[in-house]
Amino acid sequence: MVKKKEDIKEVDEIFDSFVKQSIFQNKITLQSNYNPEDIPHRKRQIAQVASIIAPSLRLERPSNLFLYGLTGTGKTLVTQYVRNQLLKKADKLGVSLLMPYVNCKLRKVADTEYRILAELIHKLGGKVPATGLPTDQLYKKFIDIVDVQKQILIVILDEIDQAVKRIGDEFLYNFTRLNTELTKAQITVVGISNDLKFLDTLDPRVKSSLSEEEILFAPYNALQLQDILKKRAKEAFKEKVVDGGVIEKCSALAAREHGDARRALDLLRIAGELVERDSKEKISLDYVDRAKDKIESDKLLIAVETQPKQFQLAFLSVIQLLRRIKREKKEEKIFTGDVYNLYRDLCKKTRTEILTQRRISDIIAEFDMQGLINAKVISKGRYGRTREIRLDLPENLVDRINLILMDSLSL
């Protein structure tokens, strides 16, 4: 039924092929955490961000800043770039300037008010327990750390929309008001959001103070993406490794996905990695296609694997139900009740504690938020009201997930 994805080579052979010939010269330049010296097509934004936060060099508090644009449009990159430059400059001038960066999306790290604050304190060299303290005590601690001398603190909150979606915008209010508590230091908040409509969902007070300045990052078009890729590919690969059209194809694919540069780079890198694994010497077009599939499935597999046990059980229920239904060629929709029933059975089989339907309902909603499934609350009229759950994934991927979950839950 399920095909083996990769031939099993002798370990020795695998190592050999890696040592012998690498098509990569400097792979780092294609990785998403790489900060290039030069960011094409973002000159204007860099200048804007820089000029807005520049007053910090004179120990004046810059305006709060809000950056928004779809994923892979360079928001984080630009911010990091300006951040590094500014820190360098501040260092040279002997100005006391702190710019902690927190990604608010990371589950279990910075997805509640408490944890964001804890992470921030941690970045500033303080220590706080993971739990046990009242949140306002964390604020106190934060102030203690920051307010030791005249200095500017620029807090960068990435993926801020995720945090607000989860815990509301109150913490932003607290944050922007922090300045009134400070005597020596001053705080500026830089918010980064992937959600274009995010600002409108905020409380007006928060909105006006957070977006004293705002900058929109428009998607890259295919040509701009090509530019970016070419520049990076030149450093990443050895000469004459990339077939004609490959870069164009990566760009086109990514441009279709709202101009996501990260996506384009990933495509190219993964394609390269696949080529290398096959001990080939050139990246040809079909490797781009394979890379595309791999990226999509990898992302999902990781998301599923890192899910807590109860979540995995719930997800497995969803998957198995949908597979079953698909086999009977019925409509590919299921409802909360169905999921819960199967979930209960699975719990019994695995001797796991059974959570209430209330909770499972929330978990399903969370899957939807994470984009693992497609759930919509509908009313079936006389037959009640429920979530209609769908999953649009290729069948072989669903099978793989199924196996992985069965395995990790030892079913």
Partner DNA sequence: CGAGATTCATGTGAAGTATACCTTTAGGCTTAA
Partner DNA sequence: AAGCCTAAAGGTATACTTCACATGAATCTCGTA
C-alpha distance across the termini of the chain, in Å? 19
Question: CB of 302: closest distance to DNA in angstroms?
Answer: 19
Question: CB of 100: closest distance to DNA in angstroms?
Answer: 18
Per-residue binding string, DNA, 109-128, x by CB under 7 A, is ---xxxx-------------
Q: Any contact of residue 132 with DNA (CB under 7 A)?
A: yes
Q: Any contact of residue 358 with DNA (CB under 7 A)?
A: yes
Looking at beta carbons only, is 8 or 383 nearer to DNA? Answer: 383
Looking at beta carbons only, is 223 or 377 nearer to DNA? Answer: 377
* Alpha helices (runs of H) in 94-169, residue ranges in sequence order: 113-123, 135-146, 160-167
Coil, strand or helix at 376: strand
Per-residue binding string, DNA, 67-106, x by CB under 7 A, is ----------------------------------------
Looking at beta carbons only, is 184 or 324 nearer to DNA? Answer: 324
Looking at beta carbons only, is 157 or 261 nearer to DNA? Answer: 157
Question: CB of 74: closest distance to DNA in angstroms?
Answer: 31
Cα dist from 89 to 50, 96, 100, 101, 151, whole Å? 12, 11, 16, 18, 15
Residues paired with residue 66 on neighbouring β-strands, in sequence order: 191, 214
Question: CB of 204: closest distance to DNA in angstroms?
Answer: 20
Looking at beta carbons only, is 140 or 349 nearer to DNA? Answer: 140
Per-residue binding string, DNA, 287-326, x by CB under 7 A, is ---------------------x-x----------------
Kindly report the number of other CB atoms within 10 A of residue 221's CB atom. Answer: 12
Q: Any contact of residue 20 with DNA (CB under 7 A)?
A: no
Name the one residue in this structure whose structure tokens are 């490794």: 241
Distance of CA 43 to the CA centre of its chain: 24
The residue from 6, 19, 125, 129 that contacts DNA (CB under 7 A) is 129
303, with CB counted inside 10 A (0-12, 13-18, 19+), is middle
Strands (E), 101-243: 101-103, 152-158, 186-193, 213-217
Q: Which of residues 364-393 bind DNA (CB under 7 A)?
A: 364-365, 377, 379-387
Residue 331 one-letter amino acid: E
> Which DSSP category does 353 fall into?
P
Question: CB of 373: closest distance to DNA in angstroms?
Answer: 12
Which of 153, 180, 175, 177 has its CA nearest to residue 163?
175
Q: What is the DSSP string of 16-64?
A: HHHHH--SBS-GGGGSTT---S--TT-HHHHHHHHHHHGGGGGTPPPPP
Q: Any contact of residue 350 with DNA (CB under 7 A)?
A: no
Question: CB of 358: closest distance to DNA in angstroms?
Answer: 4
Looking at beta carbons only, is 185 or 304 nearer to DNA? Answer: 304
Looking at beta carbons only, is 109 or 404 nearer to DNA? Answer: 109
Looking at beta carbons only, is 248 or 388 nearer to DNA? Answer: 388
Spell 332-346 as b/e; 16+ CB within 10 A means b: ebbbbebbbebbbeb
Question: CB of 382: closest distance to DNA in angstroms?
Answer: 4
The helix (H) or strand (E) run that includes residue 386 is strand 385-390
Looking at beta carbons only, is 135 or 370 nearer to DNA? Answer: 135
Can you give the binding site for DNA, defined by CB under 7 A? Answer: 108, 112-115, 129-135, 308, 310, 335-338, 353-359, 361-362, 364-365, 377, 379-387
